[in-house]
Structure formats: structure tokens, C-alpha cells
Structure 1
């Protein structure tokens, strides 16, 4: 009687890959569940996402190579790429600013965001100035401005430039008041913040100042709440592309 032929364990069957893929997927889900994006440096996160862009594409598209190509002939090598240190320090500054101004962020006196200009620290004008005034309410806001000065002098933003931008709502100024228009009022408020920060030791040569009146609203200007959001002074730690 002929012996039964044993199945070839080393055959072309790929059943094992299914179990292996399930295990890898479960491990990935486990580590994703543990991952906290708030602790991730924005520059590192962007680099990680970029490195994963080609995963899952067909083999015909090729992968990333370390061999020299035409770009290297033009001088575009890895050594000529911009350093990521400045991007990392701005991400660190964002986390520090959020921590420094946590009470004021909760009370809407300060807002910390990041956009194409850089790191934006918005000071609510109603908390820092009286109506139609460019005189800072020092007694109420001194501690906030001192913390802001500490941030601007910190190692995280060393060598960076700053811009102070004043903004108003669309309500016309009082024709009998000190400001002919919102242009003058927004600029005067920017200058007031500049003078306070330089008086406490921040280098004046690192600043730019601008007044935008009501031309750059961040909220609808047809409600009291929206108008209050638009009345602000933005202190911006500039990104490299906005010097």
C-alpha cells in the first residue's frame, strides 16, 4: 500500500502571512492607543507622516533611495537641507506658551495658536485696554505681560524675530476722540505693547509693529461677542518664512 505523501511545509502556501499580519495590526493598534499627540514635537510628527507617505503603494513606484541622483548633481544633498532644530524649538515654544497662559486661555484673555506666520499669542484688547484707549491696564495685566516677556527671552525662541499686530472691530472711532480711525488705534495699541515689553528687557531690535484696523477679523463682526474676539493684539513669534 502506497504511503500518503505528507504536505510540503515549505510550499508556496501563504496562510502564515495572515496570522502574522493580524499580529502586526494588533500591535499597531495597541501602540496607537498609547500614543498621546500632545507630547509629540510637531516637526517630528510631520517628518514621521512624510516618511509613511509611500507605504502601501505598489512595488513599481519604488522606495526612498540613498543613492545619489540628479538632485545631488545640482548640489541638493542631505547636508544642504534646512535644519529642523528651529521647527522643533517653535513646537517647544508652543507647548511652553500654552502652559504659561493656561489660566488666561480658560478665561479668554489670551489665545495661543499656530499658523503660517508662526506662533501667535493673541491678547484680548478688552482685557488689556479700556474702550477706545491705547493705554495698557497695567494693574490687571502686568503678570501676563511679564510672563510673555519671559517667553520671548527664552532659549526656545532664541534668534527669532517678533511681530506685534493690532486689530480692532469694524465700529468707527469717535470723531471727537484721539483716534481719527481704527488704523491709528490698532497701531497705537501695538506700540503700547512693544514699549512695555522692551521696558522689561526684551530686545527692541527683534520686533516689527503693524496695525490692521478691522481688515483681518477672526470672527463675525455683527455680534458683540464676535466684535470682542476681533479686538486683539497678536504677538507673533515669526516662522522662518515670515521674517
Structure 2
């Protein structure tokens, strides 16, 4: 015969072994609930676009209907004016907007745009170019000389008007001379050779170990300036002659330096040839 204490123990064991079943059922129900919520929350993009388009069409139709039913009237302008005698308060003033005015050009002969003469204009001849350069520098013969040579022209610029002693950096006064030369050479088909010349005073520095480098650097600097101001670079060549082509003796027969002659030998020559 089953005792009461044994029955209580059996019931207690059964209760302890089946509680997790109820918990599993609860978790399953929660999972189903969240899955259902997730499926409902998904948005139908196509349906949303259709609804938005139908609302937009309805609003446009309503706006057009209101505009057609309004009576036509002269447009009015709204502005804010301030009375100088008042206490600084602004008040609106309704002013009628003036109708737009239409301006008509009186009848007359049609005007043609000016013809461009630059394309059809013939280039300057070499003699015309030489004469033009001569006129440009006629007032400064001590700084620039223009002379006709076999087959072309030579523009000799004294070194003092272009560079400081021992330098290849253009001085502020040099731009006037080089701008004039560039303006004359622009648009011409002639070959340009830029020559650099120095005196016989030795130079030895980090940038210019000898007069060869100095003369070439000065000629290159002048050529680059001309290119930067419109002269075609394919027509320009550069040469540095150091002190090998003096125009006057650098020293006297006794070996004394001649300062004036040395200044004449420090020069840059721009040769223009066909």
C-alpha cells in the first residue's frame, strides 16, 4: 500500500522534472510573436511609391483648379517702408507692380560684327621687324643697340641693364627692354638665337664655376623670359660664349684691365634670322 509520504515525494519529483517544458513553450510563443512582428514591419516599396505618386497628382490637380478659378488681377508688390518722422516702426505699403515693358529695336540696316584681321594679316618682314626694334630703342642707344647683320638683325643688350655683376637674375629695369623685344617678335616666323657673353674677369662660385656657366645662364634666363611673354619656344636657341668673343679688348697692352671695355663685353645678343 502506497503511503502518503511516498506519494508526496513522487509528486515532487514529477514537478521538478517537467517545469522546463512550460518554459520551452513560452519561449516558442515569444519567438513566433517576434517573427510575426518582423514580417508585418517590412515595407512594400512599390506600394509606397504608388501611394506617394497618387497623392502628388491629387495635390497638383487641386492647385491647378484653384489657380483657374481665381479672377485675373494686376499683380501687387509688397514692400516695407520706414517713415522718417515716426518712431522707427516699419509698416507695409502695397504698391502696384508695373507691367513689363517691351523694347523693340527700330528698323535699320543690319550691322555685321567686326572682321578679325589678325588671321589674314601678313607677318612682318625681317626689315620691318628690324626697323620696328630700331624705333623702340632709338631713345636708349647706350643700353640697347640694333644693327643689321648678314641675313638678319642683332639686338645687343648691355649686361648692366639686365643683370648685376656675377648674377643671372634679371634686374627690375630689364623688363622694359625684354617686353619690347617680345612684343616685336610675337607672331613672327623668324629664328631667334640668344647669346650670352662675359668679360675676362674670372668667376668661381657654387652656381657658376666659370664664365661659361654664367654666360649660358644669362642667355637662358633671357630666352625663358621671351617664351613666357609670347615668343614660340621652338624658334629659340641659346648659346653661352663666356669671354671668347669680346667686342673690345678687356686689357691694355700692358695688361691693365679696361673697365669700359669689360662693361661692353658683358652683354646679351638676340639674333634674329629667317
Partner of 2:246: 217
**Correspondences of 1:1-243 after superposition (within 5 Å):** 89-105=125-141, 108-116=142-150, 118-137=152-171, 139-153=172-186, 158-173=188-203, 175-222=204-251, 223-238=258-273, 240=274
How far apart in 1 are the matches of 2:127 and 2:235? Answer: 20
Q: Give the direction of change, closer, same or farther, for the CA distance of 1:220–1:203 in structure 2 (3 Å limit).
A: same
Query: When you count strand as a share of all residues, which structure comes out higher?
Result: 2
CA RMSD of aligned residues (A): 1.9
Unaligned runs of 5+ in 1: 1-84
Q: Structure 2, unaligned stretches of length 5 or more?
A: 1-121, 252-257
TM-score of the aligned structures, taking structure 2 as reference length: 0.51
- Is residue 164–residue 236 contact of structure 1 (8 Å, CA) maintained in 2? yes
Rg (Cα) greater in structure? 2
Report the TM-score when normalising by structure 1: 0.57
* In structure 2, C-alpha distance between the alignment counterparts of 1:117 and 1:221, rounded to whole Å: 29
On the 8 A contact 1:112/1:122 being kept in 2, the answer is yes
The alpha carbon displacement at 1:104 in A equals 2.1
- How much has 1:177 moved relative to structure 2? 4.6
Task: Decide whether aligned partners of structure 1 residues 192 and 117 sit closer, same or farther in structure 2, where only a CA change above 3 A counts.
Answer: farther
Q: How many residue pairs get matched? A: 147
Q: Is the 8 A contact 1:109 1:127 kept in 2?
A: yes
Which of the pair is proportionally richer in helix? Answer: 1
